[in-house]
Amino acid sequence: MANLLGDLVNPDKYQEPINISGFDTNHLMDDLKQMYVIRRVEEIIGDNIVTGVIKCPCHLGIGQEATAVGLSRYLRSSDRVFGGHRSHTHYLGLRGSVYKLFAETLGKLDGCSKGMGGSMHLYDPSIGFGGSVPIVGASVPIATGAALAAKKDNVGDIAVSYLGDSACEEGAVQESFNLASIMKLPIIFVVENNLFASHMHIDLRQPHNSTARFAEAHGIPFKVIDGNNLTDIYEASQEAVKYCRENKGPYFIEAMTYRWRGHVGPREDTDVGVKRKDDLNTWKKRDPIRRLKDSLINKNVLSENDFNEITKLIDKNLVEQWQKALDAPYPPKSLLTEIVYK
């Protein structure tokens, strides 16, 4: 079969600034800030896992910020977006509340799931985030059902299902692809292919390293893109959203990216005692934030000093939001019966 990923799996490639010609610089600046927010939020969460302040397991998406930020630009709050266990980026890409995310990881009442879900069970229908779950691939059939509901509502809403490369190995995911294709459901399947299922590299699990072959098998149109290139994501997202809103059926995006931290927790080098197969320092040169920043500087839209001033303001705000979350109350025990077992 054709090598669908090509040089995208070579970390020595795609390290240069991206092409931003013809794109709205206000959008690019706004999304640069949001990617930085997401990274700093997750770094703060990682630091507080180390100190023991955060007790729940947290799966960090540092290095993968661009995909959700780029796609979310073309979504509306009535769309139905679903994630998995690594979904801080998906929630914040939709401009979810940083404070509510911090509070949720701390088990506080003001959390987006009222402190009952922790890092992996995020929920905020006000921004169109239908939920995330820790079971691999489990939200994909739910998102497919949401797409069926959207089709029946017939107002142009769509569903988005974020999943990783390993989720494609789940039977329910393949069934969802098939059902979406047969029923022409308005859903975008976004595979963030970071080459790992927990600590196991895709080369040890699959005969091919691309997941887009599954879209091909189910007759779903697809795009394979650099998931660390915001403008590539813009172009693929616009096409996918338009296709789904016009009720033509599902669309599949495979975004090649790479997480900088282990499967769970803040460590970079190893995870569950297994050494990372690839050279992380080389992959870091594909940093989506740095590549976009360099592009904006090259076009004289931004200066290094401007960027430093912007990040100082963001950092100050995040420290305030974190402190506010630390000071927030825990939920009363009565919510166990009022919410969890309603």
Tell which wins on pLDDT, 177 or 265.
177
DSSP string, 230-287: HHHHHHHHHHHHHHHHTT---EEEEEE---SS-SSSS-SSEETTEE-SS-HHHHGGG-
In sequence order, which residues have a C-beta less than 8 Å from that of residue 207 and are 6 or more positions away?
none
Which pLDDT band, with edges at 50, 70 and 90, does 205 fall under? confident
- What does the pLDDT look like over 231-261, one tens digit per residue? 999 999 999 999 999 999 999 999 999 999 9
* 3 state DSSP class of 229: coil
pLDDT of res. 4: 85
pLDDT of res. 212: 94
Average pLDDT over all residues of the chain: 94
Which pLDDT band, with edges at 50, 70 and 90, does 262 fall under? confident
Which pLDDT band, with edges at 50, 70 and 90, does 146 fall under? very high
Q: Are 89 and 38 in contact (CB under 8 A)?
A: yes
- What does the pLDDT look like over 79-109, one tens digit per residue? 999 999 999 999 999 999 999 999 999 999 9
Which pLDDT band, with edges at 50, 70 and 90, does 274 fall under? low
In sequence order, which residues have a C-beta less than 8 Å from that of residue 246 and are 6 or more positions away?
none
pLDDT of res. 340: 73
- Residue ranges of domains in the chain, CATH in brackets: 6-340 (3.40.50.970)
pLDDT of res. 206: 85
Range in 38-47, 100-109, 274-283, 331-340 the model is least confident about: 274-283
pLDDT of res. 273: 56
Which pLDDT band, with edges at 50, 70 and 90, does 156 fall under? very high
Averaged pLDDT for residues 202-229: 92
Report the 3 state secondary structure along 7-63.
HHHCCCCCCCCCCCCCCCHHHHHHHHHHHHHHHHHHHHHHHHHHCCCCCCCCCCCCC
pLDDT of res. 272: 56
pLDDT of res. 62: 96
Is the pLDDT assigned to residue 71 strictly greater than 80? yes
Which pLDDT band, with edges at 50, 70 and 90, does 198 fall under? confident
> Torsion angle, CA of 274/262/56/122, rounded to 10 degrees?
-140
Is the pLDDT assigned to residue 1 strictly greater than 60? no
Is the pLDDT assigned to residue 170 strictly greater than 60? yes
Averaged pLDDT for residues 189-199: 89
Percent of the chain whose pLDDT exceeds 70: 97
Which pLDDT band, with edges at 50, 70 and 90, does 342 fall under? low
∠ CA 331-337-341, rounded to 5° = 115
Tell which wins on pLDDT, 133 or 268.
133
Q: Are 91 and 169 in contact (CB under 8 A)?
A: no
Range in 72-81, 214-223, 272-281 the model is least confident about: 272-281
